Amino acid sequence: TRMVAGPMDYTPGATVNATAADFSISWSHPMSQGTRAHQAALYVVYESPLQMLCDSPSHYLRTPEFTGFIAAIPTVWDEIVALHASAGEYVAVARRNGDKWYIGAITDWTGRDLEIDLSFLGAGPWQVESFSDGVNAARVARDYRRECSTLPSDGKLRVKLAPGGGFAARITR
């Protein structure tokens, strides 16, 4: 159980990602379990006011859009909204820093679809930059999709999480 008594130390942001079947311990080529989008979502899901990028700098240079996104996620928050959760299975939270909202959703090794209701944001328009599991993420954990869009008028995001997957978004006016 994490964060029961407050913030914790954790180092997300790995770019060498593996499915449960592909994961192995390798001291010369370390990897993380779960998808690339899962790694991005951990920066929002876990409360950790002292964050870092845990991987090799050369890996981050190869993925500037991913690196820029996770490096810009704040470490302190003004507000938090619980969106979905089932202990030991999945969680989705929204956190606000100033006038920007961040969404983080992660799942265990069961893929699932979530409908995330963001009606609490109020009238838009709201711009959404998101990192979600790519179409092949269930087999190739590093596969992700970056998308920039406007929040649908119904205020709901439909998110597909691969096994070990995640979703992260920044929402601005």
Please give the Cα distance from 127 to 168 (Å, whole number). 14
Paired sense of beta strands 32-33 and 17-18, if any: parallel
pLDDT for 108: 98
User: Would you call 145 helix, strand, or coil by DSSP?
Assistant: strand
Confidence (pLDDT) at 51: 85
User: What's the pTM?
Assistant: 0.94
* Token duo for residue 61: 């240079």
Residue entry with tokens 């989705």 = 92
- Segment 20-64, tens digit of pLDDT: 999 999 999 899 999 999 999 999 999 888 888 889 999 999 999
Given a contact cutoff of 8 angstroms between Cβ atoms, the answer to whether 13 and 55 are in contact is: yes
Strands 166-172, 127-133: pairing kind: antiparallel
At 103-146, the pLDDT tens digits run 999 999 999 999 999 999 998 799 999 999 999 999 999 999 99
pLDDT of residue 4 exceeding 80? no
